Amino acid sequence: MTRREETNISFAKRFFKSQSVTFPFIDYLKEPVVILKRDGHILEANNAFLKFSGVKKKDIIGKDSQDIMPLKVLSENIVKCKFDRLEKSEQITFGNHILNATITPVIVNEDLNFISIIFRDSSAFVQLERALLKRNKELGIINTLSGAFISSGNIDSVFTDLLERALIVSDFGIGWIVMKEDGKFALRSVSGASLELRHELEKGELNTLYNDVVELTDPMYVLESGETERIEILKKEGIVFFACIPLRVGAETTGILMLASRVEIKFDFDTAALFSLIGNNISLISEKIKLFQETQRLALTDGLTGLYNVRFFYDMLNKEIARSRRYNTLFSLILFDIDDFKIINDTQGHQAGDEALRSVASILSTVSRETDIVVRYGGEEFILMLPNTPKTEAFTLANRIREKVEEHSYLEKETVKITMSGGVATFPEDAEDSKSLLYAADMAMYEAKARGKKQIYSYRRVRETGIQEA
């Protein structure tokens, strides 16, 4: 309240207390004012009140205040003011206005003479307060969602944490997140759904719907009660409200957040704004996750071939040895070296040599198994780690890879061929630790080189420390 408003209201209160019957200056007051008799009937009202309430003076003077709006809303406090002889305040809504009403008993010679009611429009202040509360809520949601990324020690669990927080702030019971990966939708997290629904989602039963949502330019796709029955798996789950919120980075849709409820939800502007806020923030966080994963990938892969680098290999090798010891399992290494690679560099140029390395790396990745770890070991050397693979199987795979490499024509020239030599070693059969295992694979590979190249040898630990072909 401004100083001027306080002065006006203070003047009005003093003025009313000084008057006994007539109110000649009431219309000079800017605030809407009504004077009531002790019985609650209207004695006087100023022009500000008449204009504000949209009534004529002749239609309200002498009428019971309980029959006139907005006085009717104040009936309870008017009665309390009369009997308690204490000033009362109440906030009411009238039309598009939010009003603070001050109800004051005017006592003359210890008798209640009349009751004054002064209205102050506080719409602007209330709207500001609501805007601040809304903004605080939005900041709270942003902080809650951002915390999933900041506090997570495992980047793979971020989507699970994000979804749980999204369900909390939206007060929904069911949700899941799908992300576009290599042109397909991958289910990254699901919460609150039955096992049957989880299985259906993992099978991609809603992929057609996801594609339709991606094609839309709308900020969200909502199905309310009755509409969800058109989708069988939602109907079986008892879902009566379903929202798809595209996760967009720029013009690209990178994923979709689904929120669902088994109880009816009123979809209004506030709900839509909440969905938009959650979707925008998950979009930003998912982009950060993508950048983080790309940074991780670059740190762990070879820049030329895209295969894993030596740093990653050594880390995985130590982990695989620890796992092998703990569970009494075995694994094998295959170390390849391209034969006479220097000739390609000298005759075709180093750029051609790089292209040949990329081609070999592609063959290694294609022919090897999904569980195998394929690494560029350095220069023209490559190494494969094969979990749970005995030496005979590793030897067979090594020869299959060698044959594929030899069959291929490089640099788009039929005359450019590549051969490889390789060595196979198995833990714990051939070594007790990582260093001796790498030594064993290296020795087997050099034996293959010494015996004419373009062949595979397996390491055999014998008393004479000899190397024998498998």
Cis peptide preceding 428, ω within 30 of 0: yes
Other Cβ atoms closer than 10 A to 346: 11
How far is CA 303 from each of CA 91, 345, 354, 362, 380, rounded to the nearest angstrom? 68, 19, 11, 14, 14
Catalogue the active-site residues: 380
Q: Tell me the CA distances in angstroms from 330 to 268, 320, 321, 385, 390, one per residue in order.
A: 60, 9, 8, 11, 7
**SS3 label, residue 1:** coil
CA–CA separation, 433 and 317 (whole Å): 10
Residue listed under structure tokens 């966080």: 285
Amino acid letter for position 63? K
What DSSP state is assigned to residue 75?
H
| Residues in CB range of 262: below 8 A, 6 or more apart | 173, 174, 237, 238, 239, 240
Residue 339 and residue 356 in contact, taking contact as beta carbons nearer than 8 Å: no
Query: From CA 103, how far away is CA 110, in angstroms rounded?
Result: 18
Q: Identify the residue whose tokens are 């669902």.
A: 260
Taking the C-alpha atoms of residue 98 and residue 91, their distance in angstroms, rounded to an integer, is 7
